[in-house]
A = this chain, B = another copy of it.
Amino acid sequence: MSVYFAIIYGAILISLLVIVCLVKYVFKQDKGNKDMQEISEAIREGAMAFLKRQYKTIAIMALIVLVIIIFADYFANASKGSSYAVSVAWHTGFAFIIGALCSAAAGYIGMYMTVNCNIRTAEGAKKGVNSALKIAFRGGAITGLSVTGLSLLGITTLFLIFGGSSGSDMLIKQAPSLIIGFGFGASFVALFAQLGGGIYTKAADVGADLVGKVEAGIPEDDPRNPAVIADLVGDNVGDCAGRGADLFESTAAENIGAMILGVALYPAFGLKGILFPLVCCALGILGSIVGIYTVNVKNESEDPMIALGKGYIITTIIVLILLFFNVRYMFGDVVIKGMSVNCGLLYGCVVTGVALGFAFVLITNYYTSVSSRPVKEIARSCETGPATNIITGVSMGMESTAIPVICISLAIFISYKLGAAALNNIPNAGLYGTAIATMGMLSTCAYILAMDTFGPITDNAGGIIEMSSADEEVRVVTDRLDACGNTTKALTKGYAVGSASLAAFLLFSAYLDQVKTIIGKPLDYWYSVDVGKPEVFIGGFIGVMLVFLFSSTAIRAVGRAAQYVIMEVRRQFKEMPGIMKGTQKPDYARCVDIVTKGALKEMILPGVLVITVPILVGVLLGKEAAAGFLMISTISGVVMALFLNNSGGAWDNAKKLIELGAYGGKNSEEHKAGVVGDTVGDPFKDTAGPSLHVLIKLISTITLVFVALFR
């Protein structure tokens, strides 16, 4: 087995070396003139101050949860003997802390790199697109590799600590369920990172726009706007730290879910089945590294999006090849029920997962890109005013859930059937097939994250250029990169929902598996939940309700936090008349401070809601009700996230389409109507939607951690 651990740690080591090279590359770039450095410094300070305070808040809540975990695990297992109960409690608690710390570290690294890359990208833009593209993307890649590397490192090491190499069947089989604590810790931090960041970014954005653009009539990113730095900080804390934590959590949760199913197949596979997802992850990191280094544009007029897309395709091809050999190598000699495992079919699961990832990116592109039918239709509806714009956007967003759901359904169905056939229809074989599909989908995660983090870096670089009044031709470069960054942000969001939806099924199955183990039923094919029981129906009702209520609180939080910004900006404009004349510098720091406090305050309610409701359902209504709750909340969470992300993205680009000259063009009545849609879409696509990705996985890990407590 040591060869697998060698591959895993080897990949982690390689990625560490690459990270060092990338950091060196980024830091040797020029930091630009004093004006630019001043702005960048303000962004850096604001972002780091937010992160520091946010982590403090999260740490306090995490400690409370930790105590609850330890006590809950102890009492739930007390009947099996005190020393066993203590052991379970400490192991889970320890894993929880490690998961939370790793997630926080991933967020910190990502943020640190972004705020150091933005100014260098801005300066690089003076040399041309290729130079800026490389700096921004390699900066993003540092985040991508750190996040995936840390996740893999954390889980593998915990597995070893918990007895993964002990040779003891009992310890090995028990380890994955103890590592759930890691997933819970990761998703706990991710929830607040995404919520707090999402609220911050949109509160600053909406606040800056409403007073700046609408009331004072100054352009976006104008240095006279006191909230402009807060807005730029927001891009980092929302898109970068938030999405990083989200995908850290995805890889962690899905690795753990797959490992738990690997345990169910232990009699057939031995340790291999548990280690397979981790090896896939390691190979995915290696493939992503190659892809990352291929990204550059040949000539300056080339579309940077094509370069990024090329890198993604290269990554995908390498990963597909590596996983092909991995499947053959790991399962080629396994014999089940007297027949060898069909590696071709098993590899089909990998392909299904990769295809689903691709499909989600394409569908998101269709529903949100400037040139697509839905966006054009939304832009056209602006001709009859903001109301028809909203109506069309809402209905388009709801429509956009259909094809993704059909794709998810097909992917689950196909990989399930392939897996069952490949493993000669032994129990849990089909499920393991879907787990493999999930691993296939997530294998390109590091590259995807690099593309995602590229977004806020270019966005910030554009802001710095705008504020430091650089030449027009530099602006053209940053504008092109910024447009490209907006696209990658939207597409990676599609990828994140797709992975969350597969995770939903995987973790739901893992939950059923855990229940089965806990209640001590024989490991028969399925554990049945009596859907006819009123408790299950009620659990389901509460599940859908939680998704709506959570979205409501997340959206409302943005509105409330934005109010603080609006009032502060108005105050500064009023009390410091020199700002508008350009003779007085606005107090950026105060705005940053106010939105930080506001976002952190407003993230508590939705966060606490997501953590308490699943536990309450399980404790009050029992395990079966929790199953109904889990299934229906995750399903409706995915659909709601698709609706929120896509409608928000489509409104955003419908406005852009009008700004590009269509349907009335900039500053027309149509444009005003378009701005309304864009503003409505902001909290949809950047706060509630992405937070729902985390919610889906958090509900799963939370029920898994607390299942022993349920009636």
Interface residues of A (CB under 8 A from B): 206, 210, 214, 381, 384-388, 390-392, 394-399, 401-402, 405-406, 408-409, 412-413, 416, 430, 434, 505, 508-509, 512, 526-535, 537-538, 540-545, 548-549, 551-553, 555-556, 558-559, 566, 627-628, 631-632, 635-636, 638-639, 643, 675-676, 679-680, 683
19 further contact pairs, Cβ within 8 A, besides A394-B680, A398-B548: A206-B387, A214-B385, A390-B676, A391-B555, A395-B559, A396-B556, A399-B548, A402-B548, A405-B541, A406-B542, A409-B542, A416-B534, A526-B530, A526-B532, A529-B531, A531-B531, A531-B631, A540-B632, A541-B639
**19 A-B residue contacts at CB 8 Å?**
A385-B676, A387-B676, A387-B679, A390-B676, A391-B679, A394-B555, A395-B551, A395-B559, A396-B552, A413-B534, A505-B534, A508-B537, A526-B530, A528-B531, A529-B532, A537-B635, A540-B635, A632-B636, A636-B636
Contact, CB under 8 Å: A559 / B381 = yes
Taking the closest CB of chain B, its distance from the CB of A437, in whole angstroms, is 11
Considering the chains assembled together, what is the distance between the CA atoms of A402 and B613 in angstroms? 12
Interface centre among A416, A553, A558, A676 (most CB of B within 10 A): A676
* With A391-B558, A556-B392, A680-B391 as contacts: A537 and B398 at CB distance below 8 Å: no
Specify which chain B residues have a CB less than 8 angstroms from the CB of A639 in the assembled complex.
541, 544-545, 548
Considering the chains assembled together, what is the distance between the CA atoms of A392 and B532 in angstroms? 37
Specify which chain B residues have a CB less than 8 angstroms from the CB of A643 in the assembled complex.
548
User: Which chain B residue lies CB-closest to A638?
Assistant: B541
Taking the closest CB of chain B, its distance from the CB of A408, in whole angstroms, is 6
- From the candidates B401, B540, B553, B632, name the one contacting A549 in the complex (CB within 8 A): B401
Considering the chains assembled together, what is the distance between the CA atoms of A5 and B406 in angstroms? 49
Specify which chain B residues have a CB less than 8 angstroms from the CB of A531 in the assembled complex.
512, 528-529, 531, 627-628, 631
Contact, CB under 8 Å: A412 / B559 = no
Specify which chain B residues have a CB less than 8 angstroms from the CB of A206 in the assembled complex.
387
Considering the chains assembled together, what is the distance between the CA atoms of A542 and B214 in angstroms? 42
Taking the closest CB of chain B, its distance from the CB of A438, in whole angstroms, is 13
Interface centre among A531, A537, A548 (most CB of B within 10 A): A531
- From the candidates B392, B401, B558, B676, name the one contacting A386 in the complex (CB within 8 A): B676
Specify which chain B residues have a CB less than 8 angstroms from the CB of A385 in the assembled complex.
210, 214, 676
Considering the chains assembled together, what is the distance between the CA atoms of A526 and B529 in angstroms? 10
Taking the closest CB of chain B, its distance from the CB of A260, in whole angstroms, is 13
Contact, CB under 8 Å: B392 / A390 = no
Contact, CB under 8 Å: B631 / A398 = no
Contact, CB under 8 Å: B676 / A538 = no
Considering the chains assembled together, what is the distance between the CA atoms of A399 and B549 in angstroms? 5
Taking the closest CB of chain B, its distance from the CB of A625, in whole angstroms, is 10
Specify which chain B residues have a CB less than 8 angstroms from the CB of A412 in the assembled complex.
534, 537-538
User: Which chain B residue lies CB-closest to A636?
Assistant: B544
Specify which chain B residues have a CB less than 8 angstroms from the CB of A409 in the assembled complex.
538, 541-542
Specify which chain B residues have a CB less than 8 angstroms from the CB of A541 in the assembled complex.
405, 408-409, 635, 638-639
User: Which chain B residue lies CB-closest to A554?
Assistant: B395
Contact, CB under 8 Å: B508 / A399 = no
Contact, CB under 8 Å: A635 / B632 = yes
Contact, CB under 8 Å: B679 / A395 = no
User: Which chain B residue lies CB-closest to A539?
Assistant: B409
Contact, CB under 8 Å: B405 / A542 = yes
Contact, CB under 8 Å: A549 / B398 = yes
Considering the chains assembled together, what is the distance between the CA atoms of A556 and B405 in angstroms? 20
Considering the chains assembled together, what is the distance between the CA atoms of A699 and B10 in angstroms? 54
* With A386-B676, A402-B545 as contacts: A559 and B392 at CB distance below 8 Å: yes
User: Which chain B residue lies CB-closest to A550?
Assistant: B398
- Going nearest first, the 5 A-B pairs with the smallest beta carbon separation are A398-B552, A387-B679, A405-B545, A528-B528, A395-B555
Specify which chain B residues have a CB less than 8 angstroms from the CB of A395 in the assembled complex.
551-553, 555-556, 559
* With A398-B549, A529-B529, A531-B628 as contacts: A210 and B538 at CB distance below 8 Å: no
Specify which chain B residues have a CB less than 8 angstroms from the CB of A552 in the assembled complex.
394-399
Considering the chains assembled together, what is the distance between the CA atoms of A635 and B534 in angstroms? 13
- From the candidates B401, B509, B558, B676, name the one contacting A545 in the complex (CB within 8 A): B401
Specify which chain B residues have a CB less than 8 angstroms from the CB of A556 in the assembled complex.
391-392, 395-396, 399
Considering the chains assembled together, what is the distance between the CA atoms of A430 and B409 in angstroms? 34
Taking the closest CB of chain B, its distance from the CB of A471, in whole angstroms, is 34
Specify which chain B residues have a CB less than 8 angstroms from the CB of A386 in the assembled complex.
386-387, 676
Considering the chains assembled together, what is the distance between the CA atoms of A1 and B630 in angstroms? 46
Specify which chain B residues have a CB less than 8 angstroms from the CB of A631 in the assembled complex.
531, 537, 540, 632
Contact, CB under 8 Å: B526 / A533 = yes
User: Which chain B residue lies CB-closest to A558?
Assistant: B391
Contact, CB under 8 Å: A384 / B210 = yes
* With A390-B676, A549-B398 as contacts: A532 and B527 at CB distance below 8 Å: yes
Specify which chain B residues have a CB less than 8 angstroms from the CB of A397 in the assembled complex.
552
User: Which chain B residue lies CB-closest to A405?
Assistant: B545
Taking the closest CB of chain B, its distance from the CB of A160, in whole angstroms, is 30
User: Which chain B residue lies CB-closest to A508?
Assistant: B537
Considering the chains assembled together, what is the distance between the CA atoms of A386 and B535 in angstroms? 41
Specify which chain B residues have a CB less than 8 angstroms from the CB of A555 in the assembled complex.
391, 394-395, 398
Specify which chain B residues have a CB less than 8 angstroms from the CB of A675 in the assembled complex.
387
Considering the chains assembled together, what is the distance between the CA atoms of A406 and B546 in angstroms? 11
Contact, CB under 8 Å: A401 / B526 = no
Contact, CB under 8 Å: A534 / B430 = yes
Considering the chains assembled together, what is the distance between the CA atoms of A544 and B632 in angstroms? 9
* With A509-B532, A531-B529, A537-B635 as contacts: A553 and B384 at CB distance below 8 Å: no
